Amino acid sequence: MQLDTAVKNLTNHGFSVRVFKTQQEAVSAISQELSGRTIGFGGSVTLQELGLFEALSANNTVYWHWKQSPAEALEKAVTAQIYMTSANAISETGEIINIDGTGNRVAAMLYGHEALYIIAGTNKLAPDLPSAMERARNIAAPLNARRLSCKTPCAMSEPMRCHDCGSPDRICNGFVTLARPCGGIGKTHVILIEENLGY
Ligand code: SF4
């Protein structure tokens, strides 16, 4: 994967991009720049692996339905000053893809916050938009379906791939691609970490 190409194209598209060698460096930098804020989290194995909820809760009010009462946390995350999530895939051509079941995460990527942070390991990079969508649909979504023990064909059969199912457990209902940052230049931070994180 060409990290330099991804950084160049994401930057040209108006995203504020930073690269960190390690997750510790990334968590330290994010923790230092955010204080006294309300922060909403989307569902994300990456955020969980980084321990960001714990790190940011020291100096901010963080809402995350994975750690708190889901109904209350989801509602408060929507109106938080800052929103954080990861990505299911990022193209080296400069687009960011997320797939969502309930829609809270992809809705929050689009509107309603002073700043959006998208934090991802470089394992999420794909060469172009079609391959990024391929990654999101055939790697990220099936692995998430398995994590959630969904009774979907991607979770229950090999080889692992999307069957574009009609299952009641389907988790792929909303597909959002950020081609450019919504809400203005500089408001969407893309934090890339040179490690494998999440799916
Ligand atoms: S659409 Fe269905 S089969 Fe495809 S990844 Fe999503 S849950 Fe799995």
Where helices occur in the chain by DSSP H, the ranges are: 3-12, 23-33, 45-50, 52-57, 70-78, 104-110, 129-135, 141-147, 153-156
Q: Which two tokens stand for residue 23?
A: 């997750």
| Closest-lying ligand 1 atom to the alpha carbon of residue 153 | 3
Whether the predicted pLDDT of 100 surpasses 70 = yes
Q: Buried (b) or exposed (e) across 65-87, using 16+ Cβ within 10 A?
A: beebeeeebbebbbebbbbbbbb
Determine the distance separating the centroid of ligand 1 and the alpha carbon of 127, expressed in angstroms: 22
**124-181 pLDDT tens trace:** 999 999 999 999 999 999 999 999 999 999 999 899 999 999 999 999 999 999 999 9
- Does the structure show a pLDDT above 70 at 7? yes
Residue 145 vs residues 29, 100, 167: alpha-carbon distances, Å: 32, 11, 11
pLDDT at residue 17 in the model: 98
Among 32, 4, 43, CA closest to 192:
4
The answer to whether 27 and 195 are in contact (CB under 8 A) is no
Q: Which residues have any ligand 1 atom within 6 Å of their CB?
A: 137, 141-142, 145, 152-154, 162-165, 167, 170-172
Instruction: Tell me the best of 97, 143, 170 to mutate to test the pocket of ligand 1, counting ligand atoms within 8 Å of each CB and taking the most.
Output: 170
